[in-house]
């Protein structure tokens, strides 16, 4: 479905002049972004899977600091970091452990950790080094009526994107009403069904091979 088709479905269902095309487009794009970033799966404690078509690679350059911003289109899940010789750099999963255990010292980058949209690293090269980062990017904003969110499977556009927009709109419309928010809950359920189907369509992958400190590493560093 393209932007016009999705907006047309929403307009037909809500029949509410308070929601003009610009406002509905905003809800649609919010839905695309939410699915790409990850939503808690119904009945589980983990996020919906990253969208394979958003997997990308870019580079960042180190400087005299011990950290650098990730690429501007970074959205979620740094999977691999490589040095200028294409060697994989271990990623420390716990940022707090990373800060506590590893000192800022001059040298080649030999480990890193992600905190938000910042890549922190140890050691610190004496001259700039280019690091390659593999991650999932932010989806494109739908602007033109014929724009299609190709990163999300076509079969799920109605459930995930239209469903998201409708549940958020009805959450506003039904705000302050007594009793159960019937329409909001209806489209929330449709959206959740889409999340389940998304998990079924995208094979569950393991987490990146993060470098994990063992207890001897922790004890040794605590004595330094």
d(CA 203, CA 53): 13
Predicted local confidence at residue 208, as pLDDT: 61
3 state DSSP class of 100:
helix
Q: Is-contact 91 208, C-beta < 8 A?
A: yes
Predicted local confidence at residue 212, as pLDDT: 55
Within its chain, how far is the Cα of 160 from the centroid? 16
Torsion angle of alpha carbons 192, 193, 195, 197, nearest 10°?
Answer: 170
CB 63: neighbour CB atoms within 10 A?
13
**pLDDT block averages, 10 residues each, the chain of length 224:** 98 97 98 97 87 97 95 96 96 94 94 97 95 98 98 98 98 85 95 95 70 51 45
Domain edges within the chain: 3-50+139-201, 54-137
Predicted local confidence at residue 44, as pLDDT: 80
Predicted local confidence at residue 56, as pLDDT: 98
Q: Are strands 55-61 and 118-122 parallel, antiparallel or unpaired?
A: unpaired
Helix (H) or strand (E) holding 169: helix 163-173
């Amino acid at each position: 479905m393209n932007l016009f088709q999705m907006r047309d479905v929403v307009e037909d269902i809500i029949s509410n002049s308070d929601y003009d095309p610009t406002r509905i487009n905003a809800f649609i794009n919010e839905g695309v972004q939410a699915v790409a970033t990850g939503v808690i799966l119904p009945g589980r404690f983990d996020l919906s899977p990253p969208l394979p078509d958003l997997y990308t690679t870019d580079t960042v350059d180190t400087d005299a600091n011990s950290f650098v911003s990730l690429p501007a289109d970074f959205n979620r899940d740094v999977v691999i970091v490589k040095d200028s010789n294409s060697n994989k750099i271990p990623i420390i999963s716990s940022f707090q452990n990373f800060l506590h255990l590893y000192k800022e010292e001059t040298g080649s980058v030999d480990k890193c950790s992600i905190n938000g949209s910042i890549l922190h690293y140890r050691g610190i090269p004496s001259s700039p080094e280019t690091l390659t980062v593999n991650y999932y990017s932010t989806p494109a904003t739908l602007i033109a009526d014929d724009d299609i969110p190709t990163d999300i499977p076509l079969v799920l556009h109605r459930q995930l994107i239209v469903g998201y927009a409708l549940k958020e709109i009805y959450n506003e419309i039904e705000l302050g009403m007594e009793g159960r928010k019937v329409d909001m809950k209806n489209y929330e359920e449709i959206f959740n069904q889409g999340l389940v189907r998304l998990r079924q369509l995208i094979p569950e992958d393991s987490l990146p091979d993060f470098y994990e400190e063992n207890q001897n590493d922790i004890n040794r560093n605590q004595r330094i």
